[in-house]
Amino acid sequence: MTKVRVFTNILKANENIAQKNREIFNKNKVYTINLMSSPGSGKTSLLERTIDSLKNELRIAVIEGDLQTTKDAERIEKYNIPVTQINTDGACHLDANMVASVLDSYNFKEIDLFVIENVGNLVCPAGYDLGEEDRVVMVSIPEGDDKPIKYPLIFHNANVLIINKIDLLPYTNFNRLKVKEDALNINPNLKIFEISCQTGEGLENWFIWLKEQVSKKKR
Ligand code: MG
Ligand code: ZN
């Protein structure tokens, strides 16, 4: 069982670094989320919508995790907020050390909301604490409604579930009740938002909730 032990040690080391990241966020009262989903669910689109709507109320900064491109970071840069690209060079998740390695480039005294967009993947990001306060997992309508059943760990470890692209519901057989039921069976504490980054439906609730989390953090 050597393999198991090696993996346990890797996660233990990750946990220690994540704790140090968390101390930096806590010391500066920065509310931090780890945004996770399959590729193409709309993580970057949600970020664009969020920054666009809240940039006058919240000071937002971003880490963009990606296998090898800078496309997402370029999309975020247009909003003139602090953003760093982490290219994992093929690794399918961010780990706490990758996050730690870019934290020096931020002035956390001037940040309210820090978003870490993980690499598109529903498997291993679930196992790697980055030091975030909340974990947000996103699924989108075209992916199908079997994600909670197939990838239970990420739903178990998340605090928030976002169902995106609800404008496409009429064109699919996606069963939103089933997804919510399956996800809540795995994790009854999940906070759920149903949104469309295309039409804007449901986004207001997400914005209100985010602002609440930021102000809780400041107290
Ligand atoms: Mg993206
Ligand atoms: Zn991975």
Ligand closest to Cα of 14 equals: 2
Distance CA 11, CA 110 (A): 31
pLDDT above 90: percentage of residues in the chain: 91
Phi, psi of 116 (to 5 degrees): -105, 105
Do the beta carbons of residue 187 and residue 155 sit within 8 Å? yes
CA of 6 to the centre of ligand 1 (A): 31
Instruction: Tell me what the mean pLDDT of segment 141-151 comes to.
Output: 97
Supply the CATH number for residue 120's domain: 3.40.50.300
CA of 68 to the centre of ligand 2 (A): 14
Contact residues for 41 (Cβ-Cβ < 8 A; gap 6+): 120, 138, 139, 140, 143, 164, 165
CA of 216 to the centre of ligand 1 (A): 27
Residues bordering ligand 2, an ion, CB closer than 5 Å: 92-93, 124
Summarised one tens digit per residue, pLDDT across range 5-23 is 677 788 889 999 999 999 9
Distance CA 104, CA 109 (A): 12
Ligand closest to Cα of 7 equals: 2
Give, for 131, the enclosing helix (H) or strand (E). none
Distance CA 99, CA 34 (A): 11
Distance CA 152, CA 187 (A): 9
pLDDT above 70: percentage of residues in the chain: 98
133, 141, 132, 149: which is closest to 184 by C-alpha? Answer: 149
CA of 18 to the centre of ligand 1 (A): 22
50 vs 67, higher pLDDT: 50
pLDDT band at 180 (very low <50, low <70, confident <90, very high): very high
36 is in which domain, residue-wise?
Answer: 2-218
How many domains does the chain contain in total? 1
CA of 123 to the centre of ligand 1 (A): 16
Do the beta carbons of residue 86 and residue 102 sit within 8 Å? yes
CA of 190 to the centre of ligand 1 (A): 22
CA of 51 to the centre of ligand 2 (A): 27
